Amino acid sequence: MSDPGSVPPALQDAILAWYASHGRALPFRETTDPYAILVSEAMAQQTQAERAGEAWIRFMAGFPSVAALAAAAPADVLRAWQGLGYNRRALDLWRAAGRIVERFGGAVPSGLDDLESLPGVGPYTARAVAALAFGLPVGAVDTNVRRVLSRIVAGGTEAVAPADLQRLADAAVPPDRPGAWTHALMDIGATLCRPRRPDCGACPARPWCRYAGSAAVTMATVRGRGVVREAAAPFRTTSRWLRGRIVDRLREAPNEEWVILDDAIGGHDPAAVEVAARALAKEGLVELDVSSRAGIRARLPIS
């Protein structure tokens, strides 16, 4: 679709009014500090916002500034990240803090290109920080926002090319309220405009939404009935689960102390544990010592 349409002012007003009454109260929404917002966006990726909010409070108490995070040992950062999963995000955030100190004098940059030059910061995170911390009228497009905007203007998520959707998202931002608009779209996507069984009746965008006015809504409420789906593999059997348990085991050890990984973890045999540990080491999440006769040893990175 070459022309994804536009978001009229009346729709903007309706969405912002809904957010004022129904927006989620999350602790990191009380700040405009760019560093605090960068931390919150790193945490909220692939993590429920409420859980990220609780972790954000603890993390900010331990690392209250860019300088404090940059000066910390990566092992301490990984320990503070416990419970959030996707531990690579913690190291990316730590590396981003170091780069901010080295290249930007300790101040989170406001430009999109500078933000995207930071480890772990892609187009979405850069735009979220720019809009929420610096008030720039740019549209942060994550999975939820993509679904909301695509359904409104085109009736479905597959109808708008990514580049067209980004242009629409940027053009849709109210210049005087980019932060509230960003949060509002995220909340509508998370609570109303869900992938399955969307609550179109409660959505402020319904009068303008092509998806809500189509047969797709009816189909979404019945899709899957009578269909037998193959069950997903239990999480405990996955490499991701094993990697998380290895990092958790190393978190429990005092700093710089090696932990021998010579036994099974869950249903994963020692060979699988070693493969996972080597993959973690390749990504910089752990350090390995393979010289010990007792077996492979690991610890959280100390520098």
Instruction: For helices 178-191 and 9-22, give the axis angle rounded to 10 degrees.
Output: 70
* Cα 204 to Cα 200: distance, rounded to the nearest angstrom: 8
Catalytic residue among 41, 54, 102, 230: 41
Sheet holding 287-289: strands in order across? Answer: 259-260, 297-299, 287-289
* Cα 197 to Cα 218: distance, rounded to the nearest angstrom: 9
* Cα 193 to Cα 216: distance, rounded to the nearest angstrom: 13
Q: Reply yes or no on whether 257 is catalytic.
A: no
Task: Specify the DSSP element, H or E, that contains 239.
Answer: helix 239-251
Rg for the chain (alpha carbons), in Å? 22
* Cα 174 to Cα 176: distance, rounded to the nearest angstrom: 6
| Bridge partner residues of 265 (DSSP) | 268
Burial of 163 (0-12, 13-18, 19+ CB in 10 A): exposed
Catalytic residue numbers read 41
